[in-house]
Every structure is written in C-alpha cells, then in structure tokens.
Structure 1
Amino acid sequence: MKKSLRGMALAALLVLTGCAVAPPYDPPRAEVPASFKEAAGGSWKTAQPAEAAHRGRWWAVFGDPVLDQLQERAADANQNLKAAVARLAQARARLGEARADLYPRVDAGAGPTRQRPSPASRGLPAEANTSPSTLWRAQASVAYEVDLFGRVAAGVEAASAQAEQGEALLRSVQLAVQADVAQAYFLVRELDAGQELYGGTVALRERTLALIQRRYDEGDISELDLARARTELASARSEALDIARQRAAAEHALAILLGQAPATFSLPARPLARLAVSVPPGLPSELLERRPDIAAAERAMAAANARVGVARTAFFPRLELTGALGYESAQLGDLFNWSSRTFLLGPLVGTMLTLPIFDGGRREAGLQAARAAYEEEAANYRQTVLTAFKEVEDNLANLRILADQYRAQDEAVASAARAARLSQIQYREGSVSYLDVIDADRSVLQQRRVATRLDGELARSTVNLIRALGGGWEGQAPAPAAALLPARQPS
C-alpha cells in the first residue's frame, strides 16, 4: 500500500512538472504582396525578419569620402545611439535577472538576537516572570522554486525576447542615425549648390547693373530700367542670404547628429552633383526582411506571448523548497561547537506549497491583460510590415518619377537659358524692353533652382529607399545612375 501511494505521488509530481502552460508561439502572418507595384519586375516572398544579417556600410555606394568620415564620427559620438546601447544593456541585465530564478538562492548570515518571551508562550501564569535570553546564530539558507508549470521558464523566455527586441531597436536607431546623417549631409550639399547658383546670379546682376548704369548715364535708357536692375540685384542678394541661413541651420543639425556642439563643427562648401549611383529596382525580398523595426515588433510579440504563459501560471500551485544549516548557541564562544549545529527543512515563514483559491478575479484580470497585450503587439507587427512596404513603394515611385522629371527639367533649363540669351541680344538691339530681360533671367534662375532641388530629392529618396529596405545589400552591385537618369545638361 505504501509503495502504491508513493508511486502515485511520484507520477503526479512528474505530470505536474511537465505541465507547462505557456501558449505555443505562432506569429501571425502579415499580408505581403508578391511584388512591389513601383518596381520593375522582381519576385518577393513573405517577409520574415532576419535581424542577424549583416547590413554593411551602405553609404559607401555614394563614393563620398567626406560622408564616410561623418558616418564613422556619428557611430562613435551620437548620443541617441549611445542611449540605445544603454537600453540594450538594461534589457540584457534583466534577462540575467530572470535566468537567476532558474537556480537556487543561497544566503549566509550571522548575528545575535535578544528576546524576552511572554509568560503565555511558556505556559506560565500572566504574573510570572521570564528572563531575557541571547541567541547567537550563524547559518546558510537555501531557497529554490520548483518550476512546476513553467512560470520561471516563461519569464526567462519573455526576458530573452525583450533583450532581442532591444538589440533590434538598437539596429533601428543605428540605421536611423546613419540615414539622418546622410540626409543632413546631402541637404548641406544641396544648399551649397544653391549658394553657388545665387552667387553666380548676384555676380551676373552686378555686371548687368553696371552696364545699365552706364547706359543711363549716357542717356540711352530711362531711370525705370536702372531701378529694375537694382531691384533684381537686391532680390538675388536677399535670396542668397536666405540660402546661407538655411545652410547654417542644416550644418548645425548635422553637428548634433555627430555628437558635437555646432560651434565646434564646420563643413567646407561643396555643391551637390547629380548622383552617380542609384539603388536598383527589384531587390530581393531578404532586404525588406532585415528591417530592424520589423524584427523588434516580432520580438515584442514573442515577449508578450511568453507573458501570457506567466499570467496563466498564477492559477496553479507554487512549490518552493527552503532550508537552513548552521550553528546556534547562547554564548558567542560556543557558537561553532559541533554540539551547536542546527538545520531546518521547510520555510521559515509561510508554506512550502501554495495553492491559490480566491482572489476576487485578480488572476483572471491579469491573464486577460496579458492576452490583450499580445493582441496589441500582433497588430503593431502587422502595421509595421504594412508601413515598411509603403515606405519602399513611396521611394521606388519617387525614383521612377524623378527619372522622367529630370529629363523634363533639363529641357526647361536649356530652353530658359536660350530665351535669356535671346532677350539680352534683342534688348541691346532695342527690340524688347528690359522687363523682358528680367523675366527671362528670373526664369533661368527658377529652373536651375528646381534642378538643384531635384538633385537633393534624388539623394534623399535614394537614402530613404535604402533605409526602407533595412540597410545595405551584399552581393549586388548598385546600378549606375546613367542607366536610370539622364546626366545634367550644361547650361
């Protein structure tokens, strides 16, 4: 009979030990199109985050040594990046805390206690006298929770997923900083091109004003043409100062990305040229899969799923084994005598096995909250995937349409320059008024300014597309821009 009861107890313990209640993790399937609408061809498979894949120095495709140096400085000194590294260290430390629950806790201590027991505790009358006593104790205690239903394991799983999420978020911040540095750099270069354009315009209008002044002094023209020439010169100078103001602000923003005070950073002027490379359309889907924000969203979902398991274990018993071994004596000199040894098996306070019975619905509410948190993370994951595809489509469309816009804009610049030259000739011959010359010059300036902005938009869209695809690519040569965009026409 005793053997039968012992066997039943052992079987019950084995059954309880195997009853892990954490739900199996089955991430939801996000709806992913077979191909990008804005890409010319290319087969795409369902996105699966591959955070461990190497992204490389994607900005090197621009072939700009200055940009390479700026990226290295940002990697070393950007404060947002350092904060993300610290957050990852916190997540990994919390994982270490969770894993510590898998092992027994051992503590040691020593010290005296002085106590005067009550007469009732000794079975004496209330008026009886009791003497205080001192007890010296030196002992080691051990505590270990038997993970019957996987509560500790689910906590470790949740902490592990959070640590992986922290790593993915670090990569996301890293990619964002790299893209922001490239964006800010190309903005400064675009404004340098604007300054060069307006600098040439100011010089041209200064020469024109000098010519108009001579003709006015000789009585060939009226003061109206002189006033118009002065107005156009002042307007060009004002617009040049506005470009300088914008450039200063862009340079300051770039300094902050590099972790520097704006007063200690300056970037020599160098106008932006039309890019010599472009991201090829139809990249394989593995690039999209490496988006760190998708990886972070998936890991957040995994952590929420593990926390559902933790919430479920609150409905089941908890078994904690405790014990103490050491010495106790009334005199300090006798503390470590062999006869003073003592031990205790079982909890000092409370019980070894606890079984929840009634708590007013607290555990059920906790489980519902954990399930709702998982549904939230699942929705966030699907939204992140949809947003990723939108960003890729947007930038593919930008690059595709920019190719056609470049061709039209180059024609507009050439036509405006031709009209300006003809108006100058006709004005000198007296067949048109100076107002026609001003209009033609304004048109040239406007069209060249638009072309400069398109150069900046091309650079920004290229950076944005690389960022939307999750970084750089390996084993794929970037397509030459000449195959996608026309070269800038001389004007």
Structure 2
Amino acid sequence: MRRMWGLLLMVLLAGCTTGSDYVRPDVAAPVHWSVAYDAAADVADSRWWQQFGDPVLDGLIEQAVRQNLDLKIATARVDQYLGALDTTRAQFFPQISAGFDAAGKRTAGQTNESYQAALSATWELDLWGRIRRSSEAAQAQIAGSEAGRRGVLMTLVANVASGYLTLRGLDRQLEIATATEKAYAESLKLFQLRFRYGTVSQLEVAQAESQYEAARQSIPVYESLVRQQENLLSLLQGHAPGPIPRGKALDELTPPAIPAGIPSQLLERRPDIIQAEQALIAANAQVGAAKAAYFPKISLTAALGAASTDIGRLFTPGSELWSAAGQVVAPLLNFGQISGQVKQAEAQQQQALFQYRQAVLTGFREVEDALTKTTRGKEQLVAQKRQVAALEEYARLSRLQFEAGTSSYLQVLDADRSLFTGRLNSTQTQYDLLVSLIGVYKALGGGWIDAAEKPGATARK
C-alpha cells in the first residue's frame, strides 16, 4: 500500500505540461549568398573598427561602451528580468513564513489572553505545468532582454564609428570650403585691383564677389554641422556636449574588408532576431500557462507552533499545535474567463511569430541593402574622382582662356563652381561609403559584439 501511494505521489508530482513545446518556425532565406560561412564569420567576428587604423576612433568606442546611458538602461532591464525569474522559480518550493499572534479580551470582569507562535508553509503542486511554463517564459524574457542589450551595444558601436567618420568627412568639407573661400578672396582682391586700373569691368568684379560670397556662406553651414556631430558623439559617450578629438584624416583611413556574399546563418546571431525569437518562446510558454487554468489547482498547507493563554508558558510541553490541509480548487463556471485568457495568450503568440518572421526578413533586407550600397558607392566614388580631375582641368583651362582674352569670366565662374561642388560631393560619397561598410557589419551582428564589450565591461557597474 505504501509503495502504491508513493508511486501515485510521484505521478502527481511529475504531472504533465500543458501547451506545445517550442519549435523554431521556418523562414525562407536567400539562396544567392554563397560565400563560405567560415570566411564570412571571421569578418563578422573581428573588431572591424580597428581596421580603420585610427586609435582615436578606438578610444571613442571604448568610452561609449563604458559610459553610454542607453546601454546602462538596457543592462538594468536584464537585471529586472533576472529578478522576475527568481520570483517565478520560487513557486516550485514551499513558501515558509513565521508568525506570532497575541490577543486580549475582557468580558464580564474577566480578562482572557491568548498567544500563538507558528511556522506555516504553503505549496502549490505544479501538476499541469503552469509554473514550469511561467519559468520557461521568464527564462526566454531574460534571453530576449540580453539580446536587446546586445542590440543596443551593436547600434552604439556602429553609431559611434559612423558618427566619427561623418565628423571627419564634415571636417574635410569644411577644409574645402575654407580653402575655396580663401582662394576666391584672393581672386576678388585681384579683380578689384584690376578694376581700379581699368583692365576689368564692374560686372566682372561683381561676378567675382558673388563667387566669393557663395563659398563664404557655406563655411558656417559646415561649422554648424561639425558642432552638431560633436554633440551627437558626446551624447553617445555619455557626457555633456564638448569637443571631440580627431585622429587620422579621411583619406588616411583604411576601409575594413567585406566578403563577397553572406551566408544566411550569420543573421541568426543578430540581436534583434534573437530577441524576437525569445519573445516567441516566451509567448508560446504563456499559452501553456494559460491553458493550465482549465485544470484543478492543488495546494498543501501546514503549520507547526505553540499556543497558550500565558506567554510565559508558550513553549512549555503541552502547548504544541500543528495543522495540515490540502485544497483542490477546480474551475466550474467562469463564463469564458479562462478561454478568453487562452485566446489572448494565443493571439500574443501569433503576434510574436509574425514579429520573428518580420525580424528575419528585415535582417535579409538590411544586409542586401548594405552590400548593394557599398558596391554602388565604390563605383560612384571612382566616377566622382574622375569627374573632379576633369573639373580641375576645366577650371585651369577656363582661367587661362580668360587671361588670354578668349573667353568671358562667366566660364571661369562655371568651372570654379562646378569644381567646388564636385569636391564637396566626392568627399560626401567617400565618407558615405565608409559608413555603408559599417552598415554591413551592423546588419550582420555576430561575434564582434562580444569583442566590443570586452574593453567596456564596466558598463554593467
């Protein structure tokens, strides 16, 4: 008989788990990314920002990883879910508490006192897997929040690197504008002197002055953009706006390597995809927890202590008390409350499923866009450099023809204006190309996120 009851107790404790176990859904992946996985993984796992060869950039990224407030917020969110998991797991064990009661009552001239001290325990038997599914959901939420933190880290490193490259590009454009303004100022002085001696007309002086002012007005525009970019980088590093140190010039930076194609397995390491899948796992587990409400809820309670009408004799022999009870509560008539909760959980599971699939497809799109932008950006930069060289020759020949009296100054103005614009556009394309390379690494995610976190381990403090 004892063996039979022991076996029955084991069966009850083992119980069953409501709801289906999680199975990763299939998402169609592009088939034309055929580069070897190892080759692409080596690139995706490296500290790609160090390939630029600029120690200042390395220092800015390390500072940001240590001090960025968004990353600290994401880290605190992970700790929040760790606490939630501890709360859920505690339900697997009896909840023990201690209590002391003292009461007094006077009736018909008599005073009655009573004292009681006891330890009590309450334990819910997880026969249908409600607590197990809730624990599974809590664990998935932790993994999802950690993936979210890694996503913040990934975005932070990419934003610091792209922000710094943009800053160096704006510095270069400001240099071009300043040098052009200086050259136009010298040309204007020369024209004003020639007008004084009657060798040029007032019209040509006005044209030279217009050219000078056009270059001059671009300087404060780029100065403002430079300052805004410095403020952005200061924010990313977690401190008040201020100057940002400079390292290598834009032309001195070495672009990081990019593989010719990307295997779709690499995208599985993207934090946003991991986070979306963990949200799906949690939602799937919540469906099981909701379905467990259809079944009886079994709880055991027990108390052990002492009671007496004299506090001095509370713990003497004969004052002992104990109690034990079991409770079974089964849903009988709830007018659709439980089914409504199940439908809600199932709908949330469907939302999480579609969000996961959307995250995967978005990852494919972002990688493809980044690769396309990089490839086309290289072609555009080569063409623009050839255009700048042609415009330099155009400007030189136009000025020679004007000095020789065979063309008007309008041609010189057109050549100089085109050259100024061409140089600015070429610089813009140059740092846009570098930023697009960063976009490839950001789209891939991967092991470089762990590499980025190592110098900034104090971000968790």
Q: Return the alpha-carbon distance in structure 1 between the equivalents of residues 106 and 19 of structure 2.
A: 50
Q: 2:358 pairs with 383, 392, 400, which one?
A: 383
Quick one: structure 1 residues 147 and 472, their matched pair in 2 at CA, closer, same or farther if it must change by over 3 Å? closer
Contact 1:58 1:472 survives alignment (8 Å): no
* The structure with more helix, counted as a fraction of residues: 2
Quick one: percent identity of the two aligned structures? 36
Quick one: structure 1 residues 332 and 59, their matched pair in 2 at CA, closer, same or farther if it must change by over 3 Å? same
Gaps of 5+ in 2: 450-461
May I ask how many residue pairs the two structures share in their alignment? 444
Q: CA deviation at 1:64?
A: 1.4
Q: Return the alpha-carbon distance in structure 2 between the equivalents of residues 151 and 130 of structure 1.
A: 54
> Once superposed, what is the RMSD of the aligned Cα atoms?
2.4
Q: Return the alpha-carbon distance in structure 1 between the equivalents of residues 48 and 13 of structure 2.
A: 53
The match for 2:254 is 276
Report the AA paired with residue 288 of structure 1: L
Report the AA paired with residue 25 of structure 1: Y
Q: When the two structures are superposed, what TM-score results if normalisation uses the length of structure 1?
A: 0.85
Report the AA paired with residue 42 of structure 1: V
* Partner deviation per Cα, 1:231-257 (whole Å, 9 max, x = no partner): 111111110111111111111111100
Q: CA deviation at 1:114?
A: 3.3
Q: CA deviation at 1:271?
A: 4.1
The match for 2:227 is 248
* Partner deviation per Cα, 1:15-37 (whole Å, 9 max, x = no partner): 6843221311112111111224x
Q: When the two structures are superposed, what TM-score results if normalisation uses the length of structure 2?
A: 0.91
Q: Does 1:395 align with 2:370?
A: yes
Q: Return the alpha-carbon distance in structure 2 between the equivalents of residues 324 and 75 of structure 1.
A: 52
Q: Return the alpha-carbon distance in structure 1 between the equivalents of residues 91 and 114 of structure 2.
A: 32
Contact 1:196 1:271 survives alignment (8 Å): no
Q: 1:331 pairs with 301, 304, 310, which one?
A: 310
Q: Does 1:42 align with 2:21?
A: no
* Partner deviation per Cα, 1:179-198 (whole Å, 9 max, x = no partner): 11112111111100101111
Q: Does 1:72 align with 2:62?
A: yes
Alignment of 1:318-397 (within 5 A): 318-346=297-325, 352-397=327-372
* Partner deviation per Cα, 1:366-389 (whole Å, 9 max, x = no partner): 011111111100000000000000
Q: Return the alpha-carbon distance in structure 2 between the equivalents of residues 218 and 387 of structure 1.
A: 68
Alignment of 1:20-419 (within 5 A): 20-36=17-33, 41-42=34-35, 55=45, 57-114=47-104, 133-263=112-242, 265-268=243-246, 271-273=249-251, 275-277=253-255, 278-346=257-325, 352-419=327-394
Report the AA paired with residue 18 of structure 1: G
| Worse overlay, 436-445 or 465-474 | 465-474
Q: Return the alpha-carbon distance in structure 2 between the equivalents of residues 283 and 316 of structure 1.
A: 49
The match for 2:439 is 464
Quick one: structure 1 residues 471 and 227, their matched pair in 2 at CA, closer, same or farther if it must change by over 3 Å? farther
Contact 1:301 1:381 survives alignment (8 Å): yes
Report the AA paired with residue 77 of structure 1: Q
Quick one: structure 1 residues 473 and 252, their matched pair in 2 at CA, closer, same or farther if it must change by over 3 Å? closer
Contact 1:35 1:43 survives alignment (8 Å): no
Contact 1:317 1:356 survives alignment (8 Å): yes
Corresponding residue SS for 1:20: coil
Q: Return the alpha-carbon distance in structure 2 between the equivalents of residues 313 and 430 of structure 1.
A: 95
Contact 1:420 1:441 survives alignment (8 Å): yes
Gaps of 5+ in 1: 118-128, 475-491
Quick one: structure 1 residues 110 and 172, their matched pair in 2 at CA, closer, same or farther if it must change by over 3 Å? same
Q: Return the alpha-carbon distance in structure 2 between the equivalents of residues 434 and 15 of structure 1.
A: 98
Q: CA deviation at 1:287?
A: 2.8
Q: 2:16 pairs with 6, 19, 33, which one?
A: 19
* Partner deviation per Cα, 1:452-475 (whole Å, 9 max, x = no partner): 01111111101111000014669x
